[in-house]
Amino acid sequence: MKTTAAATKRPRDHYPIACAAALLLTLAVYANHFHNDFHFDDSHTIQNNAFIRSVDNIPLFFMSADTFSAKPANQSYRPLVTTTLAVDYRLGGGLNPVAFHVTSFGLYLVQCGLVLVLFRRVLDRAQPAGDNRWPALLAATWYAVHPAIAETVNYIIARSEILSTVAVVLGLVLFSGGGVARRYHLYLVPAVLGILAKESGAMFAPLLLLYVVLFEPGLSWKTTVPSFVACFGTVAFSIWMAAAYSPGGPSRWQYLLTQPFVIVHYVITLFLPLRLSADTQWPLVANPFDLQVIIGAACIAAALGGAWLAARTRETRPIAFGILWFFVALLPTSSLVPLAEPMNDHRMFFPFVGLILAVVWGAWLAISRSASSARLPLTAAAIVILLVMAYGTVQRNTVWRTEESLWLDATTKSPDNGRALMNYGVIQMNKGNLPGAADYFDRALRYTPDYSYLHVNIAVLNVALGRPSEADTQFREALRDDPTNPVSYTYYARWLKSVGRTEEARLYATRAVELSPADVAARALLTDLERAR
């Protein structure tokens, strides 16, 4: 009996089209971010960092943490990040933000591709018979266009997050693929490199342990011992190299008490990213019986309990893996080191890889058990959610466009944030709106009276207003508040030079260079003063 061509024709595979659509959506979403300005810590790690201005300094990056930043307190040992910044400076012909954004976004696209591969492998080990490419693609696309992720992609020095996360995911992809990469421990190479971008890359070791325990029960946990040795050995070396680094955090006890509700905030943001900000003023908790602590602890306990239940069944183990990934990835910022800000939106970048996997796989299992008639509207709903998230990311890119738009957004969402108020005041001062700048500086003083940068800017404002005595007082106040901040010395020396007090200016400029040899502005000022002798 003959069969017709129509009877033997295979149904069309829409997966490649869907992958292409996901890529195009990601490209379209970030198309408006490439010209966004440098912001925040970009100033001392990129714009005012003399070392990134020559690729000849790359060997020095691996020998000294002093090359990472012009601020001694911020000199982490992250030579891989500084290397990529030096290359961008060279390729862009200077401080061209487009060149820096292209590199960061390229790394991000690579990460999203690797995330898709990892998700597919994890789901295949949990449910080999299913068509797991679709939930894997859905999860990877949601991650790619989520507005919270834009907080990292737009922030150039936060490339450290991208590099370390790429390294962790690549290491897991290499290990899960078996073969030569596993046999000869090649998966450890990206893991170690990731730590040279950011210390959180060391979480590769516990994540690998979770992967082995949940998805490869035929392997002994001892298989992961080399990863712990390599990762935590590299972290110890990085900490030793960054002896001058200071996280600037508050009381460790208050920091720990604050974190449970911060974690709840991160989870809520996964679904409702409505309050994203470049600089959120999150209040510390001092009372262990505070309602936020109780709610946060209860939510964490429920999540960990859910992970334990999910781990007992093979089919739901990706949920357990994703939940535990979320908590493991948060460990460096939520418990191990009290940082200056108890909460920061760009810290969701690494943890959201796991959390999105858990949510999507849980939803997929529920949908697969529903009536077939419900699947089409549920698919349409998923597409709508992705498009809404994509729109949110476009809006966040717009906020990150200039210093003015970024800090206006931060002051609107956190009107008690002294640093944000100061930065917006600086913008008003640069525009010539001196009364407006004074108002913002006065408001900032209510919340951060001992902030050296604020007193420097008040001094600059007094110079512009023709009040030399008040300017001198404010410069000295800045030095008292933070005697190790080279910026205070540089600005004071610059003003002293302008009023003819050159010998004093030379002393302060010399001190600025001693504190930070990487400070471009301080070095240029001292050179000018030496030439004028």
| One domain for residues 111 and 207 | yes
Between the CA of residue 246 and those of 155, 167, 340, 446, what are the distances in Å? 21, 25, 9, 25
In a domain, 297, yes or no: yes
| One domain for residues 408 and 377 | no
| One domain for residues 22 and 105 | yes
CB 351 within 8 A of CB 330: yes
Task: Look up the pTM and report it.
Answer: 0.94
Condensed to tens digits (0 to 9), the pLDDT of residues 354-373 reads: 999 999 999 999 888 776 66
pLDDT at 379: 83
Torsion angle defined by CA atoms of residues 87, 91, 95 and 98, in that order, rounded to the nearest 10 degrees = -110
| One domain for residues 387 and 419 | no
| One domain for residues 348 and 409 | no
| One domain for residues 275 and 188 | yes
pLDDT band at 10 (very low <50, low <70, confident <90, very high): low
Strand partners, 519: 49
From 339, 364, 399, give the residue that closes a domain: 399
Q: How many percent of the chain have pLDDT more than 70?
A: 96
CB 333 within 8 A of CB 251: no
**pLDDT top residue among 431 and 339:** 431
| One domain for residues 437 and 331 | no
Gyration radius (Cα) of the chain, Å: 26
pLDDT at 252: 86
Q: Which two tokens stand for residue 220?
A: 């002994």
Q: Is the pLDDT of residue 405 over 90?
A: yes
From 353, 370, 399, give the residue that closes a domain: 399
CATH code, 473: 1.25.40.10
* Domain, as residue range, for 281: 15-399
Domains: count for the chain: 2
| One domain for residues 121 and 231 | yes
Looking at residues 193-220, what average pLDDT do you find?
A: 96
CB 72 within 8 A of CB 42: no
Task: Name the one residue in this structure whose structure tokens are 């590769």.
Answer: 204
Residue 252: other Cβ atoms inside 10 A: 12
Q: Is the pLDDT of residue 3 over 80?
A: no
Average pLDDT score over the chain: 93
Looking at residues 49-67, what average pLDDT do you find?
A: 96
Q: Among positive and negative, which fits the CA dihedral 464, 465, 469, 470?
A: negative
pLDDT at 280: 85
| One domain for residues 199 and 246 | yes
Q: At what angle do helices 486-498 and 520-531 cross, to 10 degrees?
A: 30
pLDDT at 116: 98
| One domain for residues 440 and 376 | no
In a domain, 443, yes or no: yes
Q: Is the pLDDT of residue 374 over 70?
A: no
Looking at residues 47-66, what average pLDDT do you find?
A: 96
Q: Is the pLDDT of residue 2 over 70?
A: no
Strand partners, 49: 519
Condensed to tens digits (0 to 9), the pLDDT of residues 236-288 reads: 999 999 877 777 767 889 999 999 999 999 999 999 999 999 998 888 999 99
| One domain for residues 391 and 459 | no
The count of residues in the chain is: 533
From 384, 399, 414, give the residue that closes a domain: 399
pLDDT at 8: 54
CB 320 within 8 A of CB 214: yes
In a domain, 6, yes or no: no
CB 349 within 8 A of CB 381: no
pLDDT at 395: 98
| One domain for residues 382 and 514 | no
In a domain, 447, yes or no: yes
Looking at residues 135-156, what average pLDDT do you find?
A: 98
